[in-house]
Structure formats: structure tokens, C-alpha cells
Structure 1
Amino acid sequence: MANFILLPATQTQTNEDTNPKVKNFLTTVLEPAVKSESLKLSARMPAKQEKKISVKVLDSIQEDGAKLVQLSDDELADFRFSYPGFRIIKEKFYKKAIIYHEAIEKKAKKSQVNNKLQITVTDKAGNPLKDIYIVAFTDFANRLGDSGTTTAKGKVTLALKGKRIQRMYVYPEHSYWGYYRASFTAAASLHIALTSIDINYKDVLRYFYPTASWPSIPASIRVGIIDTGVGPHKDLVVSGGMNCVKDEDPKDFKDNGEGHGTHVAGIIGASGGVHGVAAGVEIFSYRVFPVGKSASNFYIMKAINQAILDKCDLINMSLGEEGEDEGIISYIKQAYNAGVLCFCANGNDDRGKVNFPASYSLSVAVSAMGRKKTFPASVVETSSIKAPYGKDKANFIADFSNIGPETDVTAPGVGIISTFPDDRYAIMDGTSMACPAATGMAARLLSAAPEILAMPRTQARADEMLKYLSVRIRSLGFKPTFEGKGMLLSE
């Protein structure tokens, strides 16, 4: 059995032009089955070969909209011919566009291990730090080494082949900067003291956007954040949203605990301890990531649909995957036709091709850039510096950022300080961070164009929003495949 999405042939919901049989099938046959057992539908076959198709309806986007159903591969063709008028799209899953922790792929054989390295991690005052992930590579090209997480005493022991370490990464989840060191010989023990996050530190986001000195924008702009959920955090006010994950409470749209969506939201609209680019916007949270899992294209479609219903002006999607997706394309197109712009992260595959949905022409695709000396020495972010450099040689496109002709703009995405659940702060890297920087700046700029925001919610409104933003983009001196047209700036 596999999961598929059923969409009307030309729309995301039925309308007056829809085949009445399709509308009837969605609303009177499939919709009541959302919370029931599998249906047995008749297949169109010669009378002597009568057959039933087993269909289980798992979820729905409005009663006359897309349905997530379960069908066997063997019965898919029978369903397609028996119930024409639908697009049948396979369920697909999307990852967050954040830089994940480096990980080993293999350990040395026990007979080859000749170095037990004990590492102690503390803060600058010497207090031990627990749950800090550390990975050390003795052969980075082949991802050979060892990794572990510190105990309550701040200690972890790694079993390594040799004392020469090519790369070491130290990853705290929140509250501290990470640590990076390359090409060194380790003794039997090593002490690492991590630097606490200073929320007044000028990271690359605040270098280009002096957010602490900017006034709040009028609260007439709504930004939908399709992610892991948002908050709770004292610097964030969430105006509404929906949990779009199947079998979860639709009203529980706070962060699922991973922190990604809260970090994204802080970049856009935090106010208090840290300041987002567009403090004062109305934030709407749409959770699409189950805990520890990827996001279904159906959940993302459901989130876009709800953002349109909630009259969001901009949508932020810091997620992606390879290949196009007909279902998500349909809903991004619907958003554009409703006067809503979707900003999407390019992805983080080490200068690979731009991921979908950023690669779709009606999305605004965002790459990630960084700037030297906007993060402390010896932190993980130093490993992201890579040519080419901009007109200002301190600026660079992050080594992890995907690039390509689909890129529309670039934005700060290396070493970004933002909010983390339960009133904490964290450093994150990725086009996941660059995307909300661009979304937030778009919101700030559009707040000065009330005549555009007041337009009827049609394609013409989205067109005018893009035109207005386009003249406020400045090139940083990279090729278009790296930066698109450049960076959104206030001057």
C-alpha cells in the first residue's frame, strides 16, 4: 500500500466548472470517509470481472479539496480509469533546509583504534555542559572517525585511529556558539570552552540589517511560516496558524521541539531580546513536520491552503527536496493567484542544484551568504567560508548553499542568532535562515507600500509586490547563479 494525493484535474478545490461527478465524489463519498475505515469502490470492468478497489481516506484539505488516500500499487490503474477527473500524485517528503550536524559513516576496527581521546566541554567559567554533540574525523573524505554526546559532567570519550585529527566539530543545540578545529594532533585529553551567545552580537544578519534600531512595522502584514511550528518564546507573538500534521491537534501549532520553526520566526519577527527584520508583522505558524520526521507534500499543500484562507501576504518555506511536485506547484500557483508570495530556501547540498519548491518559477528562491568576522574565531561557521567573494571581499556565498539559474535573491544565512523554544537563543546556519531574512525584509519593504497591500487578492497584487521589491534589490557582486538579482536592502 502507498499514499497518494487526489486533486481535481485543473483546480485545488472544486468550482462551478468542475465535473459534477468529481465534486460529488470528493464531498459525498470521500469526505465522510476521512475518519472511517477503508472504502470499497467499484472498478469499471466487464460485468463478469466485477472488482472492488480498497481505498482508505487519511486526510482532507477542505471538504471539496485534495484528499490523501491509501491505495495499493496494483489497484492504482483500476482507480485511474474508474474515477477519471483527478490528478493522482504520490506522497513525497521534504527536509528542513538547515545544515545538519556532520556525521561519521564508519568507525575504525577495534584492532585499529589506538587513541582514546577524552574531551571535556565547559562554558568559559568552567561549568560542564551536557548534551553537546562532538564528531572528530581522522579521515574526513571517507567520513571515518568517532562521535558522541557529553555527559552531565561535560565529558565524552572518542575511540580513534591515530592522534591526527583532520576535522573536529562541536555542536551545542542552543545557548552557545559551536566549535571547529582542523588539522591538529590530539593528546589523551582535550578541554573545549564554548562561548555563550551574546544577543547583542553583530552577526551577518545584523551587519546588513541593523534590526535593533529599526522601528516596528505596521501590523498589517501577515507572514505564514510553514515549518516545525513556532514558540513558545517571549520575543515572539503568534497570531494564528494550524497544525497540518495528520492525527495531531490542528490547534497545536507551537514548535514540535526541534526549534527550527522558532528560529525562522525570530529572524522574521522577533522583538525583545533579539530583533527580527520585520518586528511588528503578524506571524502565522503552520506546523508540517512531525517530531523527528520529514514533512509530507500533503501537509505542505494543506499549510499553503490555510495561509491563503488566513489572508497571509507572504509565506516562508525553509524546506526542500530534489525534483518537482505537481501538488505543491498547484498550491503555490493558487497562492500567487491570491496575491501571496512564497519565499523558498535553495537547499544545502554544497553548491548543488536549487531544490524544489525554490526551483519553481512562481517561488522566490533564496541562497545563503555570509561575511567574515561576523562570527567568533574557531566556531563551526568558519568552515563555511568559500570563494567566490563579492565586491566586498569579506562577503561570500556559503559553501553549503545550493546555487543555479533559478536563484532570485541571496540573504544572510551563516551564524544567525535567533529565538529557540522556551525563551532560549540559538545559532543556526543554512538557506533555512537566509530565506526568512529575505521574507522579513520583503515584509518590511512592503509595509511602506499600503496601496499595493490594499489591492484585491489576485495575481495582479502578487505581480505588483514583486515589481516593487525588484527595484530594492542590490547586487553584492556575485554571479546571478549565486545571488540572483542580489540582496533586498532598505536603501
Structure 2
Amino acid sequence: MAVVDTGYLLHQDLSSRWYLPGGVNLDVADNDSDPTDDTPSVTDPSPNQSSFSHGLAVASVIGAETNNLRGMAGVTWEGQLLPLKVARSSDGKITTSFIKLAVDLAVSLGARVVNISIGGQAFDPSLEDSLRNARLQGVVLVAAAGNQGQDGILYPASSPAVIAVGSVNNNKTKSDFSNCGPELDLVAPGNGVTVLMPQDGYGSASGTSFASPMVAGVAALYMSRYNALRNSWPTPDQVYACLTGTAEDLGPPGPDTGYGFGLVRADRVMTDTTYCFP
């Protein structure tokens, strides 16, 4: 799975999961081979805030190691995480052109799921071409809906090629910050999510950024299980039908702009014989 974000950091609870192929410019923002998160939030945190790596936190939701008697467990317990750094080291700037390069690279390196916990207001036709091509190549794309608490799903989550994910709290109520819109597909927990922090630390974070990797992780679990049973990979259409068909309906009956099809349910996904394993 590819994690398109601010980069990676070593951590005692995640280090065995990183995939760092040699001779590849995994830092697409700075066009070099080192995807270490050295953006200002890590190297120069504000006086009132601890060092925080968005990329590490997002990746930990997907793949923090399990059954190791340490602070947290990710959604998945096998597979590798490919960190694709789209944040410029000097100032942390992220552009749609960087995301496009990362999506193209993820496809070329064989990623089957791509998580993008990044979004903005502007549509980019060049990035859209890459998203559509990735989906045609069998890649499942998952992205965060945005944290402005407004109508309007951020891009690229709003793309038809992408599964857009919003956030709910532990009471299964839409998070105040979670964006709404007809493009919203699913929700997942995004309030006070346990995440990994730099220097082997642990903390909590809130946002659709941390709901999105939960859905991406469930998609990866399903795809792996399907391949093991059927000796073939499910298509993005199959993954979408599985995750939305088994979601727990929340809010008004049926799909709606605040919850999409509802809360992703890994337990249903892995056992369902109607939408997932017909």
C-alpha cells in the first residue's frame, strides 16, 4: 500500500512495515530518494506543540505492528507501506503536481491501494488523469474528505475515481469538522485516534486524515483475503461494492451527504457473501 503524505519516520511500532525500494525517488516533492519526513512540523515544531509527523501518524493507522505488546495496532497486520513524500522539505508545501507524481509512481511500483490524506479546493485535470489511470490499472484510491466542517468534499477525494472518507466520533455521530457532500462514500472513526509520534512516541489525532487510512486498511485486508481465496485480485469496482454494501448505515436511511453509505465495517467485509465474496 502506498501512503501519499509527508514522508516516513522510523518507529519501534512500525519500522518493519516500511517498503523503501532503492534507486527510486520516493520524495517526489524534492526529487530525491529519501522520503524521511523532515518538514517543519517535525524539525521545527511550534513552541506550544510537540513534534508531529502527519505521514507517520497516517501510516500507523494502517500498519502499526500487531501482537507486539506495544502501544497500538494498525488496521492491517501484513503487507508493506510505501511512503511517497509529497511535502517539500523546506516549507512543507504540497501541490497537486506532487500528488500526481506520487500516484503515478505508486502504480509503477505495484501498489494496490493508495491512501491520500491530503486535499484542497482546486480540481487538477492532470492529477485526475493519473487517478483515472490508476483505477483502470486496478488500484484502489482512498482519500480524506476534509476538515472544514462544510459542504464540499476536498479534491482529490471528490474525484469519481476515489473513495471519499469522512469522520465520525466514538458515538457514531458525524464529527463536527468532517466535510459533507454527495461525493462522500464512507465514514470511519476520526476523533481522538491513537497514532504514532516521532521519537518512538504515541499520541492522538483527529481529522478525516485518520479516518481515510482506516478505510484504506480495510480495503487492503479485503483484497488480500479475496486474492487468497480466489487467486485473483478484486477490481476497484468490486472493492467499492463490498465496502459500501456492507457499511453500517448512519444518519438518514440510505446514502446521504453526511455519512455516505455509512460506517466501514471490517467484520462484515471479511465475512459477507453477498457483496464481498459472492
TM-score by length of 2: 0.81
Change (3 A) 1:359 1:452: farther
1:452 and 1:461 in contact (8 A); partners too? no
Query: Once superposed, what is the RMSD of the aligned Cα atoms?
Result: 1.9
Change (3 A) 1:254 1:330: same
Change (3 A) 1:454 1:282: farther
Alignment-derived partner of residue 484 in structure 1 = 260
Q: Secondary structure at the match of 2:13?
A: coil
- Which AA in structure 1 matches 2:148? D
Offset at 1:436? 0.5
Q: Report matched runs for 1:249-260 at 5 Å.
A: 249-250=32-33, 252-256=34-38, 257=42, 258-260=52-54
Whether 1:243 aligns to 2:243 is no
Change (3 A) 1:398 1:277: same
Offset at 1:299? 1.3
Offset at 1:282? 1.2
Name the structure where helix makes up a greater proportion of residues: 2
Change (3 A) 1:253 1:454: farther
CA distance in 2, matches of 1:235, 1:488: 25
Alignment-derived partner of residue 212 in structure 2 = 435
CA distance in 2, matches of 1:339, 1:430: 28
Q: Secondary structure at the match of 2:81?
A: strand
Offset at 1:421? 2.1
CA distance in 1, matches of 2:156, 2:136: 17
Whether 1:301 aligns to 2:91 is no
Q: Report matched runs for 1:103-252 at 5 Å.
A: 223-236=1-14, 237-240=17-20, 242-247=26-31, 249-250=32-33, 252=34
* Post-superposition CA distance 1:146-187 (Å, at most 9, x none): xxxxxxxxxxxxxxxxxxxxxxxxxxxxxxxxxxxxxxxxxx
Higher RCO (CA < 8 A, seq sep 6+) = 2
TM-score by length of 1: 0.47
Which has more radius of gyration? 1
Q: Secondary structure at the match of 1:343?
A: strand
Aligned residues: 242
- Which AA in structure 2 matches 1:294? K
CA distance in 2, matches of 1:453, 1:253: 35
* Post-superposition CA distance 1:249-298 (Å, at most 9, x none): 32x11222341010000000101421001121211100000234221222
Change (3 A) 1:295 1:275: same
2:184 and 2:258 in contact (8 A); partners too? yes
Gaps of 5+ in 1: 1-222, 372-393
Change (3 A) 1:307 1:427: same
Name the structure where strand makes up a greater proportion of residues: 1
CA distance in 2, matches of 1:426, 1:290: 24
Pairing partner for 2:248 from 465, 474, 489: 474
CA distance in 2, matches of 1:342, 1:453: 22
Offset at 1:451? 6.1
CA distance in 2, matches of 1:328, 1:451: 32
Offset at 1:466? 2.3
- Which AA in structure 1 matches 2:240? L
Identity %: 28
Q: Secondary structure at the match of 1:275?
A: coil
Gaps of 5+ in 2: 43-51, 269-278
Alignment-derived partner of residue 83 in structure 2 = 285
Alignment-derived partner of residue 63 in structure 2 = 269
2:167 and 2:191 in contact (8 A); partners too? yes
Offset at 1:453? 8.1
- Which AA in structure 1 matches 2:118? L
2:2 and 2:106 in contact (8 A); partners too? yes
- Which AA in structure 2 matches 1:254? T
CA distance in 2, matches of 1:368, 1:411: 5
* Post-superposition CA distance 1:19-40 (Å, at most 9, x none): xxxxxxxxxxxxxxxxxxxxxx
Change (3 A) 1:352 1:293: farther
